[in-house]
Amino acid sequence: MEQDHDDGPNFLTLDQQTNWDGLPLVKYDGFWLPLCLFRSILSAQTHFKAKSGDLILTSFPKSGTTWLKALVVSIAGRYAVTGAQSPLLTCNPHALVPFFEYENADYFQHLPSRRIISTHISYKTLPESIREESECKIIYICRNPLDTFVSYRHFSLDNEFGQGEDDAGPLPLGLDEAFDMFCRGIYSFGPSWDHVLGYWNAHLANPEKVLFLKYEDLKEDVEFSYVKKIAGFMGCPFSEEEKKRGVIEEIARLCSFESLKNLEVNKTGSFQGAAKNSSFFRKGEVGDWRNHLSDVMAERFKKIMESKFEGSGLMFTI
């Protein structure tokens, strides 16, 4: 991947840390970014030009990104469970919707309209053309931060990210040390609370431009109204005839965690040669953090959330 090394600040002038899993981090725009992705992010921030009709899928890591990508691709193409034409049957969702972080800005200029692009970067770090200069839309999905922490820890360990040693000793760090860093906001794309609040406030300011979804709400929605909500936001609502044919239910089933996990394409292979396709589908449960974190840990983070989210109208169950 070619990167423009003349873009933005030199990372050597910025604060740096080593993530609990050994990945070097650099602090930019108030967020800790993986150093290996820093130049790509700067390239996108500086050079990406949004177009009317673009759809940007955003999330903090392990918040339901894979699920959201599958849903949007299926809604846009009206792919049904029985339709062999669905690209989800042959491609991992991440191969269908590219990340800003993994490509040079020039790559996106050659994608056909309507462009669907994803990112883990904060609202503040998005290219200005997305935030202010265009009619493109943003969908953000968030999840209980404690579940994202547990999910990312399993994901990173499964893929053996950043294994080795630093000055403090062997990596990755243990659960207690990793959780301490998470609570201090030193985490890939963290702090998590600032990430969520940035998109939440953007949604409140302009709900026609930014759709804000909660993973937990989608999991509890047995009527699949979230499929209709996303389709309406995208500007491609379902017709009455499609509703009668059960297209909404078929899309929801195709994109369910169990369905995606059991597809052969997601049992083998890898994304960007780094993350196993299977590692994107561990449990997908709400509240799994309770099986891994102590009451003391939960209480510590609860106090952080209450402080950070006070007055925002947003909260997660701890």
In whole angstroms, give the CA distance from residue 145 to residue 287.
10
Question: How buried is residue 83: exposed, middle or buried, by Cβ count under 10 Å (0-12/13-18/19+)?
Answer: middle
Phi, psi of 150 (to 5 degrees): -65, -45
DSSP 253-269: HHTSHHHHHHSGGGTS-
The kind and range of the H/E element at 57 are strand 55-59
Give the CB-side neighbour count of residue 300, counting CA atoms within 13 A: 13
Active site residue 120: yes
Q: Please, which residues have CB within 8 angstroms of residue 258's CB and are 6 or more apart in sequence?
A: none
Structure tokens at 60: 């903090």
In whole angstroms, give the CA distance from residue 115 to residue 131.
16
Q: Which of 120, 154, 203, 292 is catalytic?
A: 120
The kind and range of the H/E element at 27 are strand 24-28
Question: How buried is residue 229: exposed, middle or buried, by Cβ count under 10 Å (0-12/13-18/19+)?
Answer: middle
Of 67, 48, 14, 207, the C-alpha closest to 121 is 48
Distance (Å) of CA 47 to CA 37, 62, 199: 16, 27, 22
**Known catalytic residues?**
120
